[in-house]
Each structure stands twice: as C-alpha cells, then as structure tokens.
Amino acid sequence: MDRQPAYATEESLAELAELARTAGAEVLDCLVQSREGPEAATLIGSGKVEELHALARALHADLVLFDQELTPTQQRNLEGRLEAKVLDRTQLILDIFARRARTREGQLQVELAQLSYLLPRLTGRGVEMSRLGGGIGTRGPGETQLETDRRRIARRIRHIREQLEAVRHSRGRQRSKRVAVPLDTVALAGYTNAGKSTLFNALTAAGVLESSRLFATLDPTLRQLDLPSRRVLISDTVGFIRNLPTTLVQAFRATLEEVKEAALILHVLDLASPHRREQACQVEKVLHEIGAQSKPQMLVLNKIDLVDPAECEVRLAAERAAWPAFPVVAVSALTGEGIPELLATLDQSPALEPVSEARFHFELHEAGKLSYLHDHARVLETRYTSEGVEVCAAVAESVRRRLERHLVNNNNQR
C-alpha cells in the first residue's frame, strides 16, 4: 500500500529488499500498489493480485513479501491466489532474528516474539486448525485442534516470560553490582547497519561481528572503555529499524534495559545515508517506547569516509542544526578518523560523573585499595616512600568519596 510520499515508499521497499537478502532470499522484482484504503480480503485488491500472480509465475518466484502487516485472512487468501508462500515485514524480521540469535537469552526473546505474533493468528489458518483433538491433556473429544494449540502456545509464552523475568532480575543484580563499582555506562543505539558494531570494535577491540547485513548482532555486549581521564563501560545492543514489531520491542525488554539504564546514549547515525534523518526519528521513536527518551544523548555521525569532504561539512552542519541539544561528533569507525575527538568529547560530557585530580596515600599493606584506584581512575603519578605509596590520579567523585580517608589534600576540581 502506498499512502506515503514516493521517496518514503522507495526507501521502505529498498529496506525490505535488504531484509530479504539478509534472510537469504534473492530479490527478483518489486511492485507498488496505490489505493485509497486496504481491501479486507487481500489488502491490495483483486486486480493487483492478478497482476502480482502473473509476475510471480513469470519470474518463478516461490515467496512473496509484503511491506505491511497482513491479517491471517489476507495472508491465507493471498497464498491461495498467488500459489506461493506469503510473508509480511514482521514475519521476515522475526525470521532474521531467529537466525541471528546466538545466546540462550536471545533465542528465548525471539521465540517469545514469534509466539506472541502467532497466537492471535491461529484462527483462519485452515482446515488443519479445526480438527477435533482428544486424549490426555485436552478438555475432551469435543475440543478443536485450534483450542489445543492456543492453550499450548499460551503455556509456552508464560514459561518463556518467566525465564526472561529471571534473566531480567539477574541483569538487575549485575547492574546493582556495577553501580557499586563507580563506572558510568554508555550505550550505543542506532538504526541497524549504521555501523554500531564497527564503532564498538574501534573503541574497545571487542571483536564483535561486523557485517553490512541488517541485524548482524542481536546479543548485548559490554566492555570497558578508557577515556582520557576516566574509565567507563560501553554496551552494544540490537539495531533499530522502521516499524520494528511491537512484539520484538517487548521481547527484548531485558536487553534494551541496558540502554534505558545508561548514563549516556551514543546515537550512531549513518552520515552517508540520504535517509539518515528518517532513520534517526525511528531510533528516537523506539527510545521513547522503552522509556529512554529523556536520557542524555550524543550524536555520532559515522561513515564520513564514504562522503566527499565538502559534502561532509554541509551534512555535518545540517545535523548540528537539526539536533541543537546534542553534542555532535563525526567519525569513521572503519578508518579511525574522528575517534580521538569522540573520546575527548565523551570524556567531557556532563552526563558522566565529574572527575578531579586528587592525591592519595596508602600504607604498604593496603595493596587492595591501591589496585582499586588503578582499576577505576587514571593514575598520573606514583611515588614510593618508606611510609607507603603516594598516588596522584584523576578520579571520579564516587571513587574520591570511597577513598576519602586516604586523601592527602583537597585539590580543585578539573
């Protein structure tokens, strides 16, 4: 259905084609339907169905993808008249997520999203769902197969939610432990294929999978990042996309909480994309859905190596004007250009704990506290004396408070 500007339709279809290639399909052709409203039976109308049927037969296509969510009735009718398998955008994204999930948590989240999508669509799936069931585990010989499947799926959904709730509590405990360790958390967020994982690797050498395919990484990764005057934790999670299925947003709640709980969000934007503004709006929409819209953000314009230098300056100025409330840094995660500026800007962010220089004195038997200081601060000078060890370091306020009794004197905050 085409009820949006032509450029938006073209972009959306190009994205659907890329999703199809990511899922392993070969894209043969595309078709656009423009009408006042969707038809209840087939979405696109009988005339367009016949045109699509002829095109699919001519191209020997065995799969037809729709860039709009289909009702169970529409999907069944289309499959019967097109003589091919029919999937909508949501089903395609769920299939990609199912292929890419590697951890047990990721697999559970994808299964929950798939079952949540399937449950209201059991009705109308054909004769196979109206067979009578019987025997152990059913209400009796009069129960239909549809009712049995509904109850089984609902039971499985409850079980998965319980497991994911346990994961959520476990993440909460881990987060509480991290809070006890005075390190701010910075979360990478952005449209899928904006280069988040490449940037994450450039910053941390984490070795996360980098790919031009959509949703190359699903499972969250957390690493330490050394800034000029401090150390922080940085997390990388699943990329966002337009019309991200609500079932996926709900299923990935435990993962996306890493973004919600971060002190600062690095919003990664593909500067080379002509549709970057629309992609940024989609990211903001998802951040709003998970309750992270009020978090401090920094805009990271990635892939400047793909843009002509003169054009890069024009686009950079345009983005700074469009996002006046955010610090804006231009980088190339692939070549490393702009990374030092990003680290320096991040280090000075008011969203992170203030850092100041302080001098500490530790007795010789207090090696544990000295090690703690080295782990959570940037040591500037170390001097050993007969009475112990004197250390000058740039420390976060929470570290300073924790080691307050070891302070030699008070210094002005930097």
Alpha carbons 360 and 36: distance in angstroms, whole number:
73
Domain residues for 246? 183-347
- The answer to whether residues 280 and 255 belong to one domain is yes
- 85 and 225 housed in the same domain: no
363-408 pLDDT tens trace:
988 989 998 888 888 889 999 988 899 999 988 888 888 899 999 8
Amino acid making up residue 134: G
The reply to whether 173 falls in a domain is no
Read off the pLDDT of each residue in 159-174 and give the average, rounded to a whole number: 80
Domain ends where: 68, 94, 120?
Answer: 94
Q: Are residues 215 and 342 in the same domain?
A: yes
| Residue 397 or residue 208, greater confidence | 397
- Give yes or no: residues 203 and 291 share one domain: yes
303-331 pLDDT, tens per residue? 999 999 999 999 999 999 999 989 999 99
Rounded-to-integer distance, Cα 327 and Cα 342, Å? 10
Residues 310 and 396 both lie in one domain? no
Give 274's pLDDT tier (boundaries 50, 70, 90): confident
pLDDT digits (tens, 9 = 90+) for 142-166: 446 777 888 888 999 999 888 888 8
DSSP code string of 232-261: EEEEE-PPB-TT--HHHHHHTHHHHHHHHT
Predicted local confidence at residue 22, as pLDDT:
86
* DSSP letter string, 156-188: HHHHHHHHHHHHHHHHHHHHHHHHHTT--EEEE
What confidence tier does 126 reach under pLDDT thresholds 50, 70, 90?
very low
- CA end-to-end distance (rounded Å), the chain: 57
Tens-place pLDDT, residues 5-51: 444 778 888 889 988 988 889 999 999 988 888 999 999 999 999 99
* Neighbour tally for 62: CB within 10 Å: 10
Which pLDDT does position 134 carry in this prediction? 43
Domain identity same for 316 and 257: yes
Q: Is residue 384 part of a domain?
A: yes
Q: How far apart are CA 366 and CA 316, in angstroms?
A: 50
> Does residue 375 form part of some domain?
yes
Residues 127 and 204 in one domain: no
Give me the pLDDT at residue 74, please: 92
Same domain, 109 and 247: no
The reported pLDDT for the residue numbered 179 is: 54
List, as one string, the DSSP characters of 346-408: HHT-TTSPPEEEEEEEE-TT-HHHHHHHHHHEEEEEEEEETTEEEEEEEEEHHHHHHTGGGEE
Q: Take residue 186 and report the two structure tokens written for it.
A: 């910075």
Mean pLDDT of 75-104: 87
Residue 57: per-residue pLDDT: 94
Strand ranges, E, within 193-339: 221-226, 231-236, 264-270, 297-302, 328-330
| C-alpha torsion sign, points 253, 198, 282, 342 | positive
- Residues 10, 78: one domain? yes
Instruction: With respect to residue 174, please indicate whether it lies within any of the assigned structural domains.
Output: no
**pLDDT tens string 27-39:** 999 999 888 889 9
Specify whether the CB–CB gap between 183 and 204 falls below 8 A.
no
How far is 203 from 332, CA to CA, in rounded Å?
11
Two tokens, residue 281: 């709006």
Distance, in Å, from the CA atom of 66 to the CA atom of 243, rounded to the nearest integer, reads 13
Instruction: Give yes or no for a contact between 124 and 150, defined as CB atoms under 8 angstroms apart.
Output: no
Residue 382 belongs to a domain with what CATH number? 3.30.70
Structure confidence at residue 7 (pLDDT): 47
Report residue 167: phi and psi, to 5°.
Answer: -65, -40
Chain mean pLDDT for the chain: 82
What is the percent of the chain with per-residue pLDDT over 90, rounded to a whole number? 35
Of 80, 82, 106, 76, the closest CA to residue 94 belongs to 106
- CA atoms of 370 and 391, how far apart (whole Å): 9
Kindly calculate the radius of gyration of the chain based on its CA atoms and give it in whole angstroms. 27
Domain boundary among 94, 115, 136: 94
pTM above 0.85, yes or no: no
Confidence of residue 413 (pLDDT cuts 50, 70, 90): very low
Residue 109 backbone dihedrals phi, psi, to 5 degrees: -65, -40
The domain spanning residue 15 has which CATH number? 3.40.50.11060
Per the structure, the count of domains in the chain is 4
Q: Does residue 251 form part of some domain?
A: yes
Both 321 and 211 in a single domain? Answer: yes
In a domain? residue 236 = yes
Query: Which CATH number covers residue 271?
Result: 3.40.50.300
Q: Which of 94, 122, 149 is the last residue of a domain?
A: 94
| Rounded Cα distance, 227 and 277, in Å | 29
Q: Is residue 108 part of a domain?
A: yes
Q: Are residues 107 and 88 located together in one domain of the fold?
A: no
Q: Are residues 135 and 243 in the same domain?
A: no
Q: Quick check: is 82 in a domain?
A: yes
